[in-house]
Amino acid sequence: MGQFFKFVLATVVGLVVFSGLGFVLLLILIAVGKSAGDDKAVASNSVLELKLDKPITERQEPRGFGASNSIGLLNLRQAIAQAKGDDDIKGIMLSLSAVQGGMASLTEVRDALLDFKKSGKFVVAYSDGMTEKSYYLASVANAIYLHPQGALEFNGLSSEVTFFKNLLDKSGIDVQIFRVGSFKSAVEPFFRTSFSDSARAQAVSYLNSINNDMIGRVAASRSIGVPRLHVISDSMLVHSAPDALRLGLVTKLGYYDEVLDYLRGKLGTAKDKKPSIVSLSDYHEGGEKSQREGSTDSSNRIAVIYAEGDIVGGNGSDNSIGGDKFAEAIRKARLDDKVKAVVLRVNSPGGSSLASDVIYREVMLTKKVKPIIASMGDVAASGGYYISMACDTIVAQPNTITGSIGVFGLIPNLQKLLGEKLGITVDRVETGKFSDFPTVTRPLTE
């Protein structure tokens, strides 16, 4: 028995020692990695690669121990602006596939690339298959390479909605709807089988607006007439990579190694040498380090507060706007004497009217003591517009979807489904006529 306890004790001690050493080793590796990252410098005669294979969001998600799942719009724009004045960066390579981002965000990226080209530096784009959004960015490039077996989508924009009324009727589910505003179409799938006239009108309006703006910008970059691009799109003339080349939408059909040859020619790199390419993440980390080293404790600051996602009550989450938490952030900026102005960066379709009003109140209080400006991203609708309209100034992109078109609420009534379809009955005891409100087991009385 004594030997057994000795063995157990030795095992426990060994595990503790091993865990401690492992933890110390991990800290050393992190420190070494950080040191290596801090010492990282961009080689002269380099190309900045923008690999846009993740969703473009307002803020880049923290990476922690893994790679980020998104690309921050601000990070992207800052990197492009920095590269414009960086003598070590000679050009930008766009690696594109199915670009994920709203049209307003992509327009900001595109404008940044156009500004970059004013320095005389080049932009080249490569893809093995492009959507309309991908091509919208690629069209700004000096040279566009498409894989010989690739595809390019250029056939216009569409909006498709699924309607559930017939299914709900068959299931015995009655959806009781409260709606203010004929254009508040979010509830239509529950009581209609197709678009209402107002819903169709607004969808046609914003799709045509976005499509016309996109085609106009592509036409200017590719030196193709707007009417011609409309014909290409409306007739769906692009079925293959050779079609895209024949119609002048791309510069060349080629493979990735041929793009590298193009870069060698631009950089003057020997054929047996790989061109120096720096990734967005490495370049942005270096830029952040320079900004930190050059920053000072200024008494004249501008607070930028991001409002991205649905507006909800409480603190919300990383993907939503919590009314209480967001209002607290505005309040903190208002009470900070070092903050001289506030910018609300809004990218939200709306949400809770109560949470929106909590935020609205803080915006109104703030504008009494310092300037507060709303900067709209891809969408600032309903509650997103409500919190924006209180600001001193509202700035939007040409492709921002914005407006306030009403409010809605809905309560399903499952009485028929439960009683007639499933054989389930419900009984209740209550102290008042409406004590069970809101209930889904009986219809509303008034």
Which amino acids are annotated catalytic?
A: 184, 382
Residues 6+ apart with CB under 8 A from 443: 174, 176, 413, 415
Q: Quote the tokens at residue 189.
A: 């799938």
Q: Rounded to whole angstroms, how far apart are CA atoms 95 and 430?
A: 64
Q: Quote the tokens at residue 165.
A: 């009324």
Q: Which residue, among 337, 334, 277, 226, has the nearest Cα to 47 in the 3D structure?
A: 277
Give backbone dihedrals phi and psi of 18, rounded to 5 degrees, phi first: -60, -45
Identify the three-state secondary structure at position 305: strand
Residue with tokens 């054929």: 271
Q: Rounded to whole angstroms, how far apart are CA atoms 198 and 196?
A: 5
Helix orientation angle between 280-294 and 73-84, rounded to the nearest 10 degrees: 80
Look at strands 320-322 and 276-279 and give their pairing.
Answer: unpaired
Question: Peptide bond preceding 438: is omega within 30 degrees of 0, i.e. cis?
Answer: yes
Look at strands 401-403 and 372-381 and give their pairing.
Answer: parallel
Q: Rounded to whole angstroms, how far apart are CA atoms 19 and 195?
A: 62
Number of residues that make up the chain:
446
Name the β-bridge partners of 322.
312
| Cβ 305 vs Cβ 330: under 8 Å | yes
Residue with tokens 């016309």: 212
Categorise residue 428: left if φ over 0, alpha if ψ from -120 to 50, beta otherwise.
Answer: beta
Cα torsion 345, 351, 355, 360: sign:
positive
For the chain, the helix, strand and coil percentages under 3-state DSSP, each to the nearest 5: 45, 20, 35
Q: Which residue, among 403, 303, 314, has the nearest Cα to 358 in the 3D structure?
A: 314
Give backbone dihedrals phi and psi of 383, rounded to 5 degrees, phi first: -60, -30
